[in-house]
Amino acid sequence: MNNDSAEELNKSQSDPAQEKAKSDSEWREELDPEQFHVLREKGTERAFTGKYWDLKDAGTYRCAACGEPLFSSDTKYDSGSGWPSFYQPADAASVKELADHSHGMIRTEVTCAKCDSHLGHVFPDGPPQTGLRYCVNSASLDFEKQEEGDAE
């Protein structure tokens, strides 16, 4: 009996479609309360309070919910907003952009293409490279520092 249920668990974890099918209670178990609020309830952390807005280390920012690589430190810049800001995603296919008319504003929401979790918004006031500012919550990201010697 126990072996059977362990096998079921492994099967469901290797199923790529499974990420989107998670229920709120499953996400609640995996994420801390702030991550759950931001990623699954489209919350926004307060400016200058997140763990990554001022981080300048080289590495990869992954989705805090599913681990998909979303942004590279190479495209991170200091926007002065108090949120991690990037001028482009690691891969155009790794994020989705959706019209967001909440809070009386017309904005473009950015979500993880793999698990549909909320990341932040994209604004047309970015640096010259793309003219875009991906304004992302630290709570939506999981930073993986580049190891010494990985650069070459």
Kindly list the residues in this chain that would bind Zn ion in the complex (CB under 5 A).
Answer: 63, 65-66, 68, 112, 114-115, 117
Residue at 67: amino acid letter: G
* Residue 95 vs 132, nearer CB to Zn ion: 95
C-alpha distances in angstroms, 63 versus 5, 33, 81?
28, 16, 21
- One of 63, 112, 115, 135 is an active-site residue; which one? 135
Reduced to 3 states (helix: H, G, I; strand: E, B; else coil), residue 87 is coil
| Spatial separation of the C-alpha atoms in residues 124 and 111, rounded to whole Å | 17
* Residue 112 vs 135, nearer CB to Zn ion: 112
Looking at residue 148, what DSSP letter applies?
T
* Residue 31 vs 112, nearer CB to Zn ion: 112
**Sign of the alpha-carbon dihedral angle for 70, 71, 72, 73:** negative
* In the complex, minimum distance from the CB of residue 119 to Zn ion, in angstroms, rounded to a whole number: 8
Note if 115 is an active site residue: no
Active site residues: 135
